[in-house]
Chains A and B, each alone.
Chain A
Amino acid sequence: MMMNEVAQTESAAAGGRRIGDVILDLQNISLSFGGVKALTNISFNVREHEIRAIIGPNGAGKSSMLNVINGVYHPQEGRIVFHGEERKEMEPYMAASQNIARTFQNIALFKGMSVLDNIMTGRHMKMNCGLLSHVLYWGKAQREEIEHRKKVEEVIDFLEIQSIRKTPVGRLPYGLQKRVELARALAAEPSLLLLDEPMAGMNVEEKQDMCRFILDVNDQFGTTIVLIEHDMGVVMDISDRVVVLDYGKKIGDGTPDEVKSNPEVIAAYLGTAH
Chain B
Amino acid sequence: MLYREAGQFKASYQEDAQIFPIRQDRIGFFALMAVVFLVVPFAASEYWLQAILIPVLIFSLAALGLNILTGYAGQLSLGSAAFMAVGAFATYNFMLRIDGIPFLVAMLLGGLCAAGVGILFGLPSLRIKGFYLAVATLAAQFFIVWALVKFPWFSNYSSSGVISAQTVNIFGYAFVTPQAKYLLTLAIVTVLALAAKNMVRSTTGRKWMAVRDMDVAAEVIGIRLMRTKLQAFAVSSFYCGVAGALYAYTYLGTVEPEGFNLDLSFKILFMIIIGGVGSILGSFLGSAFIVLLPIFLNVVLHSAVGAALPAGFGSSLELMIFGALIIFFLIVEPHGMARLWQIGKEKLRLWPFPH
Are B214 and A146 closer than 8 Å at their CB atoms?
A: no
B312: A residues at CB distance < 8 A: none
Given A131-B199, A134-B203, answer yes or no on A112-B221 (Cβ-Cβ < 8 Å): no
Per-position contact with A for B7-30: 1 when CB-CB < 8 Å, else 0? 000001110010000000000000
A145 to B235, CA, bound (A): 21
Q: Tell me whether B217 is interfacial, beta carbon within 8 Å.
A: yes
Instruction: Decide yes or no whether A127 CB sits under 8 A from chain B.
Output: yes
Stretch of A114-122, A197-205, A228-236 on the interface side: A114-122
Cβ–Cβ < 8 Å partners of A142 in chain B: 14
Structural contact, A108 and B216, CB atoms closer than 8 A:
yes
Given known A-B contacts A125-B222, A131-B235, A146-B14, A108 and B207 have beta carbons under 8 A apart: no
Set of chain B residues within 8 Å of A153, measured between Cβ atoms: 13
B316 at the interface (CB under 8 A from A): no
Whether B206 and A124, one on each chain, are in contact in the complex, defined by CB atoms closer than 8 angstroms, is yes
- Is A184 close to B, CB under 8 A? yes
Q: A29-62: which residues lie under 8 A (CB-CB) from chain B? A: none
Q: Mark B253-296, 1 if CB is under 8 A from A, else 0.
A: 00000000000000000000000001000000000000000000
Pick the contact of A188: B217, B218, B221 (CB < 8 A): B221
* Cα distance A188–B222 in the bound complex, in angstroms: 10
Docked complex: A78-98 residues within 8 A CB-CB of B: 91-93, 95-97
Docked complex Cα distance between A116 and B329 (Å): 28
Secondary structure class of chain A's binding surface, majority of residues: helix
Interface residue tally for chain B (C-beta within 8 Å): 32
Q: Does A63 interact with chain B (Cβ within 8 Å)?
A: no
Q: A110-B213, A110-B214, A113-B213 are in contact. Are A145 and B17 (CB under 8 A)?
A: yes
Task: From A101, A111, A134, give the contact of B198 (CB < 8 A).
Answer: A134
With A109-B217, A121-B221 as contacts: A149 and B17 at CB distance below 8 Å: yes
Q: Are B17 and A134 in contact (CB under 8 A)?
A: no
Q: Which of B201-228 contact A (CB under 8 A)?
A: 201-207, 209-210, 212-214, 216-225
Given A93-B224, A124-B223, A184-B221, the answer on whether A141 and B202 have CB atoms closer than 8 Å is yes
Q: Does B195 contact A (CB under 8 A)?
A: yes
Q: A110-B210, A127-B203 are in contact. Are A136 and B223 (CB under 8 A)?
A: no
- Asked whether B207 lies within 8 Å of A121 as measured between CB atoms, the reply is yes
Is A70 in the interface zone, CB < 8 Å from B? yes
Neighbouring B residues of A109 by C-beta, 8 Å? 213-214, 217
* Complex Cα–Cα for A149 and B12 (A): 10
Q: Chain B contact residues: over half helix, strand or loop, or mixed?
A: helix
Please determine whether B209 and A113 come into contact, CB atoms closer than 8 angstroms: yes
The distance in angstroms between the C-alpha atoms of A185 and B339, with both chains bound, is 30
B221 touches A96 (CB 8 A): yes
Residues of A within 8 A of B235 (CB): 131
With A112-B212, A142-B14: A137-B219 Cβ-Cβ less than 8 Å: no
* A212 neighbours in B (Cβ, 8 Å): none
Q: B298 → chain A, closest Cβ, in Å?
A: 37
Q: Does B50 contact A (CB under 8 A)?
A: no
Is A129 an interface residue when CB atoms closer than 8 A count as contact? yes
- CA A188 – CA B231 in complex, angstroms? 23
**Is B13 a contact partner of A149 (Cβ separation < 8 A)?**
yes
List chain A residues, Cβ under 8 A from B205.
134
Tell me which residues across on chain B come within 8 A of A91, comparing CB atoms: 219
Check if A104 is an interface residue, CB within 8 A of chain B.
yes
A122: chain B residues within 8 A (beta carbon): 221
- A267 in the interface, Cβ–Cβ < 8 Å? no
Q: Could you say which residues of chain B place their CB within 8 Å of the CB of A18?
A: none
Report whether A124 and B207 are in contact in the complex, using a CB–CB cutoff of 8 Å. Answer: yes
Q: A117-B209, A131-B204 are in contact. Are A108 and B217 (CB under 8 A)?
A: yes
A149 to B203 Cα, complex, angstroms:
12
> Please, which residues of chain A bring their CB within 8 A of the CB of B202?
129, 134, 137, 141, 145
- A161 an interface residue at 8 Å Cβ cutoff? no
Nearest CB of chain B from residue A228's CB, rounded to whole Å: 15
Nearest Cβ on chain B to A214's Cβ, whole angstroms: 19
Interface residues of A in 161-205 (CB under 8 A from B): 184-185, 188
Closest to A101 in B: B221
- B221 to A134, Cβ gap below 8 A? no
Cα distance A70–B202 in the bound complex, in angstroms: 26
B221 to chain A, nearest CB (A): 5
Neighbouring A residues of B219 by C-beta, 8 Å? 72, 91-93
- Nearest CB in chain A: distance from B41 CB, A: 27
Q: A121 near B206 (CB under 8 angstroms)?
A: yes
Residues of B within 8 A of A136 (CB): 195, 198
Residues in A whose Cβ lies below 8 Å from that of B231: 131
* Least Cβ–Cβ distance between B115 and chain A, in angstroms: 11
Q: Which 10 A-B pairs have the closest CB atoms?
A: A96-B222, A137-B198, A108-B217, A110-B213, A134-B202, A92-B219, A149-B13, A134-B204, A121-B206, A125-B222
- Contacts beyond the supplied A72-B220, A110-B209, A134-B199: 8 A-B pairs with Cβ under 8 Å: A113-B213, A121-B206, A121-B221, A124-B203, A124-B222, A134-B198, A146-B12, A184-B221
Q: Taking beta carbons and an 8 Å cutoff, which residues of A are in contact with B?
A: 70, 72, 91-93, 95-97, 101-102, 104, 108-113, 117, 120-122, 124-125, 127, 129-131, 134-137, 141-142, 145-146, 149-150, 153, 184-185, 188
Residues of B that sit less than 8 Å from A by CB: 12-14, 17, 195, 198-199, 201-207, 209-210, 212-214, 216-225, 231, 235, 278
